[in-house]
Structure 1
């Protein structure tokens, strides 16, 4: 398991245009993040652009900023779980039942989205899997 500091360092590198997206995904998968719960004790999420985004945070400060923006007095009003990034992408996203991804550190200066695409979530739950498969078939069939 990786520390959240290593993950935030990778995020900062990406924002400085020095990072590597694949390294960021790998670091996220190995890091335990904080996932708040809603009033029904479900993982906090929101739909945007036809995708259900599960909210996750690198630390309590990031979660606290988000909680304040939602009208809470900080993290003390919120319950949250600590979840390994890989578990979110490999287990939770498929269980949602609709296209889903992870929104990390929403409301912070450096948020990151992990969309439901090949290379991030299991291929069977990636919204671009059919497009990529069609591209491969076209190339192999000589029509591309």
Structure 2
């Protein structure tokens, strides 16, 4: 799976440089198995701009940069490897608020956010879908 993570990082770099294909980037995110740090009994996330962002990393180096900034010292960061499609199709919809995926947030030039909008998350949880979903995300 290491090669797939490298492809995602390359697609993110291209997109940030203004030469990427957004649909190909989303497709690659869905096919990739990023590393997601654990916090307590769930996935590590942060709230910003009214969105809960589940944080994921393209490889162990990117995760290590995050871990050093978040938990300095010799503390280990536990994580799971999850298929990107599983995160956006199955996990994000179970959260009780708008949720997206943030990739490589500790990298100044490699971070990418996949917001809770149509084409990234399931339609019923996309903020731009206009459809409210019972027991999960919200449409607005």
Task: Give the shorter-chain TM-score range.
Answer: 0.7 to 0.9
Shift of residue 73, structure 1, vs aligned partner: 3.4
Aligned counterparts of 2:114 and 2:37: Cα–Cα separation in 1: 17
Q: Give the TM-score of the pair, scaled to structure 1.
A: 0.84
Which has the larger share of helix? 1
| RMSD over equivalenced CA pairs, Å | 1.6
Report the equivalent of 1:56: 56
Which aligned runs of 4 or more in structure 1 are off by greater than 4 angstroms?
Answer: none
Q: Distance in 1 between matches of 2:12 and 2:50?
A: 25
Structure 1 runs not aligned, ≥5 long: 132-144
The CA deviation string for residues 79-109 of structure 1, in whole angstroms up to 9 with x for no partner, is: 0000000000000100112100001000102
Q: Does 1:117 align with 2:103?
A: no
Measured against aligned partners, the alpha-carbon deviations of 1:89-142 in whole angstroms (never above 9, x if no partner) come to: 0001001121000010001021000000000000000011129xxxxxxxxxxx
Q: What does the per-residue CA deviation read over 1:30-74, in whole Å, with 9 as the maximum and x for residues that have no partner? A: 000000001x13100011111100000000111111111113337
Flag structure 2 segments of 5+ consecutive residues without an equivalent.
132-140
